[in-house]
Structure 1
Amino acid sequence: MPRLPLLTLLGALATGCGAAHTHVNLEDRALTDAPAPQPAPVLARARPAAENPPTSPQDARAFAARYPTPTLCEGAARRLQATSRDDAWLALKVCAESPAFTQLGAVLGNAWAEDLRVRPDAANLIARVVAHRGGSVDGELRLLHSRKVPIFSLASAIAQPDTYRGRYVLLRAQVADQRTDGERPTLWLVEQGLQSVASRREVGMTFRTDTESETSGDLGGRTALTGDGRVGGSIVTRESTGQTAMERTFDNISEETGREALGRLASADPFLETRRDYVILARFDGLRVTSGMTDDDEDEGPRIPVLTIVGYHLPQALAVD
């Protein structure tokens, strides 16, 4: 679709575990010259080790250090629900800060269903995990919808603006331009789709064989130019063969979908760079008719979606299935 003039549109919008102990019960020895026979020691049954409670998430660094893997971290956060759901949710947010945390299935599980329903920052936590998983938004939205999570695509919002007005949309987009007119900065967003492109690269050992052969001899005969005589010479043949181990790899390539939007920020953000992909969570505000673009045979100009940006995250390079 053709790009709309930026100044016109942006100006219109500006307005550990405890150890188990083994006990040995011994009878007292009699104080006599000849010691009395002693019964065999009786071993008490060892008690199972009791796991220490999870570290408090108030100290985020200590919590993350104690549970260094995403699975252990999410499990420790879930166990905190027995004592405090607020602490448990804070712990899950600490876990999700790590780029290695891609446990979207665990976040969407039954244990966190109530928190996803009532926590105002739940949608942004999901967007962060989607970015950690590579930012394949279309595929992740299918997973979210299978769990009835109310986050939708930009395409759906454009198709039915009245239905999706005020709802969350999730998109992968680049910032084409950023302007500040008045109090609210405005971004020109170009939606990107993620595609996987296959290629091959060399791995392991490379083997090569070079061979060379030479053939020589004489040829006798008569020519009109030289008369009787013999011609001698040789022919050299060279061959080369090689063997290389190859593996198939896949690279994620982002391409424009043809959809664009205007995004509004509460304040200017210097970390939002142009021509760079982001996973963006936003609230859909509807479609705005652009001014100054009306043709004589049309009642109104083109319409473009308007979004209020809630959060954004840099996607990792490789997508997680």
Structure 2
Amino acid sequence: MLRHPWMLPTWALLGSLSAGCGASHSHVTWTEPPPRQEAIVERPPAAPAEPPAPSAVADPKAFAARYPNPALCEAAARRVQAESRDEGWAALKACIENTPFTQLNALLGRAWAEDLRVRPEGAALIARVVAQRGGSVTGELQTLQDRRIPIFSLSSAMDRPDTYKGRYVLLRARVADQRSEGERPTVWLVEQTLTSVETNAPVGYSERSDMLSSYSGDLDGQTQLSGPGRIGGTVTSRQREERTVTRKHYDNISDETGREALGRLPHADPFLENRRDYVILARFDGMRVTSGGTDGDEEAPRIPVLTIVSYYPPHPLVVY
């Protein structure tokens, strides 16, 4: 067996070299093994990355325009929600913001209950729907309370300011005045409520008739002053008759509740106009003593202070 030189002991290697003249030469060729050829594996070209699936509500207005009424739009948003909760919420917002959405019970239903609880814009969407339903805040707040939605009335907050401080309040109010208090504008709000006034409105059918009667003649008689004599003359009578078909009509009148508040804005808003009603969602910040009183005086008049979160003009027609 041939052994490589680097495997022989030193003395053996020297012995083989010294015996060399008379012996036949044995040539040992040290050759390096050929370089190992690595197999070349052809890898298939990487598949191009798939583009992200287009959003179902990439264009909110276009999404809402697909459906002839808000109820169908909300049903479509629930179908989108089954695929993606975020996409479903975006679809619902598109329905509320781009259609005359008045389906408050659908918004407060089981499908959207979790989103309303965890998403910060949920309260503002509720306020918007209340405004689109006509802004009858008193009745709508009762519906919210029945569903355990934490949005409360201004009167409740004023009665127990420590309990409701930091919570949402919803009110219908008229902007009486706006002033700047430091860098933040302050709005003077006068709370309003809706009352219904009944009137009789004609519906297009009426009758009218006039009658004129005239009588003339002489009258014989005797008076104490002039004695016997004759009196002549004419008697005329006029009669008018009218007939009109009417129908009862009810008008919604905004009336003051007697409660006022100061609303703070982060910056001046040109779209919040004086002498107009708005449905306002605000955070209740507590009560403040009005001018002329001191904080230690329990009898001093106080006014609630609110931070306005959002506001919406109420629709003139009320949905019941």
Shorter-chain TM-score range: 0.7 to 0.9
Name the residue aligned to 1:192: 192
Q: Distance in 2 between matches of 1:251 and 1:152?
A: 27
Displacement after TM superposition at 1:140 (Å): 0.4
Name the residue aligned to 1:302: 301
Question: Does the 8 Å CA contact 1:203/1:245 hold for their aligned counterparts?
Answer: yes
Structure 2 regions of 5+ residues with no counterpart?
1-54
Displacement after TM superposition at 1:290 (Å): 3.8
Q: Confirm or deny that 1:285 pairs with 2:290.
A: no
Residue type of the partner of 2:61?
A: R
Name the residue aligned to 1:137: 137
Q: Secondary structure at the match of 1:320?
A: coil
Residue type of the partner of 2:81?
A: Q
Name the residue aligned to 1:319: 318
Q: Confirm or deny that 1:114 pairs with 2:114.
A: yes
Normalising to structure 1: TM-score of the pair?
Answer: 0.75
Displacement after TM superposition at 1:222 (Å): 7.2
Name the residue aligned to 1:44: none
Residue type of the partner of 1:311?
A: S
**Number of residue-to-residue matches in the alignment:** 266
Name the residue aligned to 1:260: 260
Displacement after TM superposition at 1:300 (Å): 7.0
Q: Which of 1 and 2 has greater Rg? A: 2
Q: 1:94 to 1:225 in 2, by over 3 A?
A: same
Displacement after TM superposition at 1:93 (Å): 1.5
Greater mean deviation of Cα atoms: 272-281 or 73-82: 73-82
Question: Does the 8 Å CA contact 2:281/2:311 hold for their aligned counterparts?
Answer: yes
Question: Does the 8 Å CA contact 2:61/2:98 hold for their aligned counterparts?
Answer: no
Q: Distance in 2 between matches of 1:100 and 1:192?
A: 23
Residue type of the partner of 1:263?
A: G
Residues 210-221 of structure 1 mapped to structure 2, 5 A cutoff:
210-220=210-220
Q: Distance in 2 between matches of 1:214 and 1:159?
A: 72
Q: Secondary structure at the match of 2:131?
A: helix
Q: Confirm or deny that 1:60 pairs with 2:60.
A: yes
Q: Secondary structure at the match of 2:314?
A: coil
Q: Distance in 1 between matches of 2:278 and 2:298?
A: 35
Residue type of the partner of 2:308?
A: I
Identity among equivalent pairs (%): 64
Displacement after TM superposition at 1:164 (Å): 1.1
Q: RMSD across aligned C-alpha pairs, in angstroms? A: 2.5
Residues 227-266 of structure 1 mapped to structure 2, 5 A cutoff:
232-266=232-266
Name the residue aligned to 1:101: 101
Q: 1:214 to 1:163 in 2, by over 3 A?
A: same
Question: Does the 8 Å CA contact 1:289/1:300 hold for their aligned counterparts?
Answer: no
Displacement after TM superposition at 1:162 (Å): 1.6
Q: Distance in 1 between matches of 2:139 and 2:226?
A: 82
Name the residue aligned to 2:155: 155
Question: Does the 8 Å CA contact 2:64/2:99 hold for their aligned counterparts?
Answer: no
Residue type of the partner of 1:60?
A: P
Greater mean deviation of Cα atoms: 168-177 or 281-290: 281-290
Q: Deviations over 1:278-309 (max 9, x none)?
A: 100011112223454249x9467432221111
Greater mean deviation of Cα atoms: 235-244 or 150-159: 235-244
Name the residue aligned to 2:206: 206
Q: Distance in 2 between matches of 1:304 and 1:230?
A: 83
Name the residue aligned to 1:146: 146
Q: Distance in 1 between matches of 2:177 and 2:223?
A: 82
Question: Does the 8 Å CA contact 2:69/2:99 hold for their aligned counterparts?
Answer: no
Residue type of the partner of 1:184?
A: R
Question: Does the 8 Å CA contact 1:99/1:132 hold for their aligned counterparts?
Answer: no
Q: Secondary structure at the match of 1:97?
A: helix
Q: Deviations over 1:91-124 (max 9, x none)?
A: 2222212563211111111111111111110100
Residue type of the partner of 2:152?
A: F
Q: Distance in 1 between matches of 2:112 and 2:269?
A: 31
Q: Distance in 2 between matches of 1:233 and 1:292?
A: 78
Q: Confirm or deny that 1:172 pairs with 2:172.
A: yes
Normalising to structure 2: TM-score of the pair?
Answer: 0.76
Question: Does the 8 Å CA contact 1:171/1:280 hold for their aligned counterparts?
Answer: yes
| Greater RCO (CA < 8 Å, at least 6 residues apart) | 1
Question: Does the 8 Å CA contact 1:291/1:301 hold for their aligned counterparts?
Answer: no
